[in-house]
Structure 1
């Protein structure tokens, strides 16, 4: 059964003719029922939102279709990694854990008239855990992770992108979910940029309005490698603004400590030496290096020599030139 406060809001909105509150309340009810796996009831609530009101005024479209209900604008990732598995500084993980707690104890907060935080902006170089952190939030909340497909959202005709964004947000409102915008600067560009068209500026305005109107059961996480490109009005929309830097030496040592524990044998050199010799530019490099070692170890069984494999992989990785390394040469 829906929460008492939602039922009270629904009755109040109906008696006062407040279509906006009525709609947002039904969306919240549908999201709650879907989270309880009451899919039929959630679908029926959404279906009734499609109907025109008695006065004939047009209401926002709720998209339901064979592709999951979002018109192909999103794809879903099944969260498999929790926050405990993510190597990030406590200055990042601590506020994220607080957000998760607020979402999990939302009934207590609402009994005091407070809504949980639900808008997060992540910035930093590529490969340092922005997507993984969004997955970790979804995992902790036991909610689906919906990732925006820009190739489906961005259209070539006037007004097309804004219309698709509206459909996307209408879908998200009826789900308890994590909505993830990777490379957010694709849509949230600075409107003062003289090189951008009027259409892009209208898209940014539409995007900001949609983010403002999202209910708190939709946790929206945005990520950018180029924070300097974001419109200034974007920043204040987000209650958490976190920077995800490259791994420190201590974090690289901790990463290899954990890896050595997982393989259950010495790596042939101390983890501090390995952390100092490995040219990691980001956490993704660390993860790929360890996967590389595992892969070669499995293929060399039964006579695999982990020490030799680590030394060989280290030599090979030193020969790789990334953009940061190339800039130094």
Structure 2
């Protein structure tokens, strides 16, 4: 039993020793940036263990000179705190078990989560977990949901970039705000989600783009490179062809999330139909065929429509009737304008 306990705790101790060793090496070499990076890693490690008091004391020590005065890098620290205003913290609504993913995609996501959860073991061997993910696919097919599910599985804060606050109209404003965002993100284990990533990661060779967006992309690449592995960055794009080629290379995982097949929709409906008390009167495969080619977002909205009608009927209307009515409504909604008239 004693050997088993020692075996379980060994990775954590080794990881902490690895962080301390990095700090000592950086101090001896006089590399202030490396010292800061090592201390930030220790702070993030303590936050992950819920040692908030120690993490706060280390943070204060990092930004205080030996004589008790505030250090010059306090300005950078304050800038990072202000970067919080460009982030929205959301509570994940989805879990990985809720999602229908291609086998290879699920396997890759499971591997990423395992690497993050066992990061101590990896770092004890001089390795870091992967933490940069690009999700590509048409709208409504699970990019945001998957980002939420990864944050939920890792039990860390889930931040979404607020583009309306991030993108400024003055020269250099967006790049400066982007720096503040990354200064904040690097202070704690989290998942930060860039939806519609092409808004800030466009191809720099595009002759139609201004010099400002090129500076933003260059700044973005630098910050992504410097982001510690305990901060997971997930980017999503509906238009992968617009992304800068150098941006692609920064992401260790590039996962496609295409529109669902009829079979995948049937699996999705089957999972949700099981949550109803009554019988829908239609098989999941038949339901998927009746609704036609729709996205996961539309499939979820259909289920919510059924749920609303069920609640409002106070269980007086049979679930079979509600499903039939909603299927008819969705089939009519899917018809282009004027199709009915031309068919007459």
Same fold (TM over 0.5): yes
Tell whether the 8 Å contact from 1:298 to 1:304 is kept in structure 2 after alignment: no
Q: CA deviation at 1:321?
A: 4.6
Specify which of 25, 29, 42 is matched with residue 16 of structure 1.
29
Structure 2 residue 169 is the aligned partner of structure 1 residue 156: yes
TM-superposed deviation, 1:76? 0.7
1:63–1:171 CA contact under 8 A, matched in 2 = no
SS at match of 1:223: strand
**Shift, 1:317, TM fit:** 1.4
Distance in 1 (CA, whole Å) between partners of 2:296 and 2:243 is: 24
2:114 counterpart residue number: 101
Per the alignment, do residues 114 and 130 of structure 1 end up closer, same or farther by CA in structure 2, a change over 3 Å counting?
same
Distance apart, 1:265 and its partner CA: 2.9
SS in 1 for 2:85: coil
Structure 1: distance between partners of 2:91 and 2:282: 37
Q: Aligned residue for 1:315?
A: 328
Q: 1:53 to 1:22 in 2, by over 3 A?
A: farther
Distance 1:196 1:149 in 2: 22
Count of aligned residue pairs for this structure pair: 323
Q: Distance in 2 between matches of 1:126 and 1:13?
A: 45
Q: Which residue of 2 aligns with 1:61?
A: 76
- Write the distance in 1 (CA, Å) between the matches of 2:242 and 2:60: 39
Partner of residue 45, structure 1: 58
Flag the 1:280–1:39 CA change in 2: closer, same or farther, 3 A.
farther
Moved more, 180-189 or 268-277: 268-277
> Structure 2 regions of 5+ residues with no counterpart?
1-12
3-state DSSP of counterpart to 2:267: helix
Q: Look up the match of 2:316.
A: 303
Task: Mark the CA change 1:189 to 1:136 in structure 2 (over 3 Å): closer, same or farther.
Answer: same
SS at match of 2:156: coil
Distance 2:66 2:209 in 1: 39
**In 2, are the aligned partners of 1:154 and 1:161 still within 8 Å (CA)?**
yes
Q: Residue deviations 1:134-170, cap 9 Å, x none?
A: 1111111111111111111111111111111111111
Note the aligned Cα RMSD (angstroms). 2.4
Q: Distance in 2 between matches of 1:60 and 1:227?
A: 37
Q: Do 1:62 and 1:167's aligned partners in 2 also have CA atoms closer than 8 Å? A: no
- The CA deviation at 1:208 is 0.5
The alignment partner of 1:147 has SS state of strand
**CA contact 1:181–1:223 (8 Å) conserved in 2:** yes
CA contact (8 A) 2:79 2:183 kept: no
2-structure distance, mates of 1:12, 1:253: 56
Post-superposition shift, 1:42? 2.3
Q: Structure 1 residues 52 and 195, CA, compared in 2 at 3 Å: closer, same or farther?
A: farther
Residue 237 of structure 2: aligned partner: 224
Query: Structure 1 residue 127: deviation in Å?
Result: 0.6
Query: Is residue 2:247 matched to residue 1:234?
Result: yes
Higher helix residue share: 2
SS at match of 2:77: coil
Q: Structure 2: how far apart are the matches of 1:64 and 1:199?
A: 21
The separation in 2 between residues aligned to 1:263 and 1:85, in whole angstroms, is 15
> Cα offset for 1:64?
7.2
| Post-superposition offset of 1:46 | 2.9
Q: 1:297 Cα shift?
A: 0.7
Cα gap change, 1:272/1:137 in structure 2, threshold over 3 Å: closer, same or farther?
Answer: same
Higher-Rg structure is 2
Structure 1 pair 248–105 and aligned structure 2 pair: CA distance change class (3 A):
same
Gaps of 5+ in 1: none
Q: Which residue of 1 aligns with 2:160?
A: 147
Find out whether 1:4 has 2:4 as its counterpart.
no
Shift in Å at residue 59 of structure 1?
Answer: 7.5
Q: 1:4 to 1:26 in 2, by over 3 A?
A: same
Distance in 2 between residues matched to 1:313 and 1:52, nearest whole Å: 67
Does residue 225 of structure 2 align to residue 212 of structure 1?
yes
Q: Secondary structure at the match of 1:62?
A: helix
The corresponding residue for 1:130 is 143
